[in-house]
Structure 1
Amino acid sequence: MQEKDVESLLKKAQKPSQDAMILHPFYKGKIQTAPKVPVRTYDDFAIWYTPGVARVCQEIAKDREKVYEYTNKENTIAIISDGTRILGLGDIGPEAGLPVMEGKALLFKYLGGVDAIPLCIGTTEIEETVQFCKWLSPSIAGINLEDVEKPKCFALLKRLQEELSIPVFHDDQQGTATITLAGLINSLRIVGKKIEEVRIAIIGAGSANYAFLRLLEKVNVDLGNVVVCDSKGILTKQRAQTLDEISRQMWIKTNREDISGGIEEALKGADVCIAYSKSGPGVIKPEWVKAMNKDAIVFAGANPVPEIWPWEAKQAGARIVATGRSDFPNQVNNSLGFPAIFRGVLDVRATKVTDEMCVAAAQAIADFAYRKGIHEEYIVPTMEEDQVYVEEAIAVAKKAIEQGVAQKILSDQELREKIEGRIKAGRIMERVLVNANIIKLP
């Protein structure tokens, strides 16, 4: 690739950050509350508020499940973050994390029709966070954990899933793992390899790759053929013993041959590289990609800059390259996952989000793109293909019903109508507000 081409790509990669610094102060935030009912005259406040609302409260007091029928609880979730691992920026605090959580809430509404409240909390203690979520749970139907540092995120998710009666989902674990699995399914279809036969090198031992390993196990991958490399090198049997208990239970299953070394050794002879480590470039070197097997697949998922630039990986021999960025082909991004996963979860009132539900979501994403025609620069749908969210949400809801974790059983037709209606409404709302000049264009 010529130097001027590289400069052009680098300039393109920097533009979203430049635009963000102009548009964020222009709008002063990305979400707002909006009424859900008409106010035909001021007399309507007697219905929506006092005295009429008292009768509604009394009905819920007699049967607490009616809160789902008489309020917006059934479509409301909270996005909870303590600001300890914001994107690739690290522990920058809850205030600095709020723009990310607001953006997440926007995606939830626009892509999934889900009302999400961004809440960056002023504690980093697990016990306090668990208690906060318990206190909050009467008002919401689910929790999306976001940008919590490891290993705390593992224990926090486990505690909340065990102690709350509403679904708790950690997007940096389950969300990233879901879309990664979807991308891998179609990448392997293109190169003609079977998932149970390939050698996979996982770069980074954080929350995303931990959950991805769990999903690999659910689709019958022999984890002994998987090699994991963190910041200190490949996880050998001896090193795995030094990890926290939750992490050790999963990582100890990998690296049957007990290979040692670093990223270079992990990639040698690998068919697939799944990297969610630290922001690059230069974390993965082109010469290491050259040592991978023919038709190599490289997912460089670090944000804001991938571990290796896509064009470098391609020049080094990778056949399929994916990143987490929207300005390169093959964006393997959580935005394809969490809005639809929660849409499906909420509409059947599921009590939890299981790994099997995430696998169902991944397969639905992959199959949607496969039906359209996958190729080396199209392994998963783009965010503009809004029908994928419907198909994914239906798959999640049906799996919840199948697993017996759904409290509301709907037929396939009822599911489709409800899911399509919710997602469509979120998009229409944005258009109406723009057309009415309530949301002003810059």
Structure 2
Amino acid sequence: MSVKIRKEDALNFHSQGKPGKIEVVPTKMLSSQRDLALAYSPGVAEPCLEIADEKENVYKYTAKGNLVGVISNGTAVLGLGDIGPEASKPVMEGKGVLFKKFAGIDVFDIEVDAKDPQHFINVVKALEPTFGGINLEDIKAPESFIIEEELKKQMSIPVMHDDQHGTAIISSAALLNALELAGKKIEEIKIVVLGAGAAAIACAKLYLSLGAKIENITMFDKTGAVHEGRKNMDPSRVMFGEGKQDKTIDEALEGADMLLGLSTGNIIKKEQIQLMAENPIVFALANPEPEIAYPEAMASRDDIIMATGRSDHPNQVNNVLGFPYIFRGALDVRATAINEEMKLAAVKALAKLAKESVPEIVTKAYGDEHISFGKNYLIPKPLDPRLITAVSPAVAKAAMDSGVAKFKISDWEAYDLELQKRIGIDQGLLSRIIDRAKKDPKRIVFAEADHPKILKAAENLRDEGIAKPILLGNKNRIEQIALDNKIDLNGFPIIDPFHQQEKLEQFGKIFYKKRKRKGITLQEGVKLMRDRNYFGAMMVECGEADALISGLTKDYASTIRPALQTIGVEDGLNRVAGMYIVGNQKGNYFLADTTVNVNPNVDELVEIIGMTARGVRFFDHEPRVAVLSYSNFGSSKGDVPSKTALATKLAKEKYPELVVEGDMQANVALNTELQKELYPFSELAEEGANTLVFPDLTSGNIAYKLLMEIGGAEAIGPVLIGMKKPVHILQLGSSVREIVNMVAIAVVDAQVQKHK
């Protein structure tokens, strides 16, 4: 399902908090006068002098080696056209975010007020001392060809216009695999290209590098076929018209093996696809609407192999599969260019990765039990964590072999580990959860639907296809709040427990049977069902909803109590626990118990360790558990060290497959060098802990809140673990984004429960 984006949401996303999407963060401590003196005057003079003596030292003493300039003049911004450099800035910031997220590369975005190619070239050339590489973006053809070609000649750092080469690289990988499935050879296939802009020409040229024959390529632009009889044709297209005669699209498609679309939506009919040769390859890459709609193309014939630019269809040709990892490899060997050999290496690495066994972390993210090489899986998925270790080393090696690398990599295994550490291999955790939720959205009942944040979150959830919201509360009040906040409630069931007498009695009787030996009368049971937390929990218990979300406006204890009394804990467990996921550049860390158990005893702590480990595995991570204390392996005495040490011992016996250590101080649990030096016997000495179990609620709650507020970490949670059916409690005052994230977790939780 494609994501529906409302204008107001997009503007708020970019304007709220700090305007824009990026900021500069110091990489060194600046906490004292000495730090400042080292960072600036007088200490900064020393690296300046070293660089003055030897320019290559700039890579040693500055961020140049991990810094890419994303540069545009705003003449071809997305599908918006020539909207100017200022208007292109949100896109360039967005490109910077993708570089950082997927490859750990820092970016300065630069918008240049220069339509004249030579002026633009002069500006960018003058910036060479700043950057390790240049990503040109959203520059219209034919100027983009001239600019890139000239800058590649004049600059000794990698330069790539991603609009051209990104699409070319990804579609080439898909083409190689499609040809293998079709049983065809690239040098023999007949190719029709719809569109003659920067991306289309770059694709065609890269296909030639892979072995395609230029005489077998027929290209069309807005005027018609590119042929030698045309006058005043763009110089970049001339080579594709040499020796060619004018023809119609239908004539070109007759017996064609491949159709590449980089033009505009809905210009091809299924009857035209039927003109093509056996096992036709159709890459309809116009966005947001392909040249032919995916369902129509697939219905036109059984032997079609198809790709689009959309995420809601198989084989999405997405540039994010390429540019972050290509620049990563180029930067890491200090390449002087991104040449044809490096692009071809990226193509072959992507094609090869698609044929490898797909890890469970990817199949779960996309909700498919089996993803394997075939017509519906020609290229890797964008959230595949193996991309960086597949593409970047291939590009780096190609740079070395082709003679454009200034730095040589000798230990490739160590390089793979370095790549993973740069981005934190877990960076896609929430993205995978959201994508997994979209594959099978569940009914989520909101107990606090008379709050604008809940309604806004529900609208987002519906638009993105993550969940099917059910709203509890007074209908008139909910509709008025929605009207005041311009929220679309179309399609949402709204249930007011006060006007559901039959349901109140039905639910009350069920509750009475559960709690009659706990002092509840039938009358009290019916009365309690008027409380939306009780009513919502009972909807989940009776199968009328798949999960409950509450807690935005009430304290945790009063929100969780109805769920515990109505649904209860999972069979075999005696309690529930709360877990937070705290993420930073190093990865994701799982903290428990942060919300429920005030001061667990040894046996309770053992159960919390087991529940937490299972909760971590729910997020496709293997837990490495540290049971925290103010002591290290008995170095200090007291109730807490004794409790955590004994709990660790019993947990090792109860869960022999689990990596668990304690008692440990938090810094030691995370610092592998310290462990190797002082506690080499620790099972966490090699990789460190990713799961932190606290001795009591006070320490856990304080820790995660400090990390959020002082450490600047992003936290997801609290995730309630141990319930018999999915119930998740929001943090007081959660943002709309945090509500959406928690619902995605609840949906996946419900999916798992369904399959038990």
The yes-or-no answer on 1:332 pairing with 2:321 is: no
- Check 1:179–1:75 CA distance in 2 against 1; reply closer, same or farther (3 A cut): same
User: Aligned partners of 2:27 and 2:293: how far apart in 1?
Assistant: 45
**Counterpart AA for 2:299:** Q
Bigger Cα displacement from structure 2, 196-205 vs 408-417:
408-417
Q: Which has the higher contact order (CA 8 A, sep 6+)?
A: 1
Displacement of 1:277 after TM fit? 1.2
Residue 23 of structure 1: which of 1, 4, 13 is its match?
A: 13
**Counterpart AA for 1:223:** I
Show structure 1 runs of 5+ residues with no match.
Answer: 1-11
Displacement of 1:259 after TM fit? 4.5
Residue 371 of structure 1: which of 351, 356, 361 is its match?
A: 356
The yes-or-no answer on 1:232 pairing with 2:223 is: yes
- Check 1:96–1:312 CA distance in 2 against 1; reply closer, same or farther (3 A cut): farther
The yes-or-no answer on 1:220 pairing with 2:204 is: no
Alpha-carbon RMSD: 2.3
The yes-or-no answer on 1:344 pairing with 2:329 is: yes
Displacement of 1:29 after TM fit? 2.0
Residue 187 of structure 2: which of 191, 196, 201 is its match?
A: 196
The yes-or-no answer on 1:82 pairing with 2:60 is: no
- Alignment-derived partner of residue 242 in structure 1: 232
Percent identical pairs in the alignment equals 40
- Check 1:188–1:97 CA distance in 2 against 1; reply closer, same or farther (3 A cut): same
User: Aligned partners of 1:103 and 1:423: how far apart in 2?
Assistant: 17
- Alignment-derived partner of residue 749 in structure 2: none
User: Aligned partners of 1:276 and 1:418: how far apart in 2?
Assistant: 37
Contact 2:281 2:305 in 1 (8 A): yes
- Check 1:16–1:287 CA distance in 2 against 1; reply closer, same or farther (3 A cut): farther
**Counterpart AA for 1:273:** L
User: Aligned partners of 1:23 and 1:123: how far apart in 2?
Assistant: 29
The yes-or-no answer on 1:261 pairing with 2:247 is: yes
Contact 1:218 1:356 in 2 (8 A): no
Contact 1:344 1:397 in 2 (8 A): yes
Deviations 1:183-228 (A, max 9, x none): 1111122222222222111111111121112211212211111111
- Alignment-derived partner of residue 429 in structure 1: 585
The alignment of Structure 1 onto Structure 2 pairs a total of residues equal to: 424
Contact 1:110 1:423 in 2 (8 A): yes
Displacement of 1:21 after TM fit? 5.0
Deviations 1:255-303 (A, max 9, x none): x5x353333333222111111113x2x2222221121122222111112
**Counterpart AA for 2:156:** S
Bigger Cα displacement from structure 2, 88-97 vs 335-344:
88-97
DSSP 3-state at the match of 1:34: coil
- Alignment-derived partner of residue 419 in structure 1: 419
DSSP 3-state at the match of 2:109: strand
DSSP 3-state at the match of 1:237: coil
- Alignment-derived partner of residue 146 in structure 1: 137
DSSP 3-state at the match of 2:150: helix
DSSP 3-state at the match of 1:407: coil
- Alignment-derived partner of residue 380 in structure 2: 381
Deviations 1:236-261 (A, max 9, x none): 1222x63344442x3245xx5x3533
Deviations 1:141-184 (A, max 9, x none): 11101111011011111110111111110101111100010111
Residue 279 of structure 2: which of 257, 272, 295 is its match?
A: 295
- Alignment-derived partner of residue 55 in structure 2: 64
Residue 186 of structure 1: which of 163, 177, 192 is its match?
A: 177
Contact 1:336 1:389 in 2 (8 A): no
Contact 1:347 1:418 in 2 (8 A): no
Contact 2:423 2:585 in 1 (8 A): no
**Counterpart AA for 2:419:** I
DSSP 3-state at the match of 1:251: coil
DSSP 3-state at the match of 1:15: coil
Contact 1:229 1:266 in 2 (8 A): no
Larger Rg: 2
Residue 360 of structure 1: which of 336, 339, 345 is its match?
A: 345
Contact 1:112 1:426 in 2 (8 A): no
Residue 258 of structure 2: which of 272, 275, 293 is its match?
A: 272
Deviations 1:305-342 (A, max 9, x none): 22222111111226222111223221101110000000
User: Aligned partners of 1:296 and 1:287: how far apart in 2?
Assistant: 13
The yes-or-no answer on 1:406 pairing with 2:405 is: yes
- Check 1:297–1:103 CA distance in 2 against 1; reply closer, same or farther (3 A cut): same
Deviations 1:362-412 (A, max 9, x none): 110010011133122211111110212221011111011011010111113
* Larger fraction in helix: 1
Equivalent residue runs for 1:5-16 within 5 Å:
12-13=1-2, 15-16=4-5
Contact 1:394 1:419 in 2 (8 A): no
Contact 1:146 1:170 in 2 (8 A): yes
User: Aligned partners of 2:179 and 2:154: how far apart in 1?
Assistant: 38
Contact 1:347 1:415 in 2 (8 A): no
Residue 116 of structure 2: which of 125, 128, 140 is its match?
A: 125
User: Aligned partners of 1:123 and 1:426: how far apart in 2?
Assistant: 40
- Check 1:23–1:128 CA distance in 2 against 1; reply closer, same or farther (3 A cut): same
- Alignment-derived partner of residue 7 in structure 1: none
User: Aligned partners of 1:157 and 1:167: how far apart in 2?
Assistant: 11
**Counterpart AA for 1:284:** I
- Alignment-derived partner of residue 578 in structure 2: none
Show structure 2 runs of 5+ residues with no match.
Answer: 358-371, 428-583, 590-703, 716-734, 738-756
Displacement of 1:14 after TM fit? 5.5
Contact 1:190 1:374 in 2 (8 A): no
Deviations 1:90-148 (A, max 9, x none): 11222222221111111111111111222121121111111111221111111101111
- Check 1:42–1:287 CA distance in 2 against 1; reply closer, same or farther (3 A cut): farther
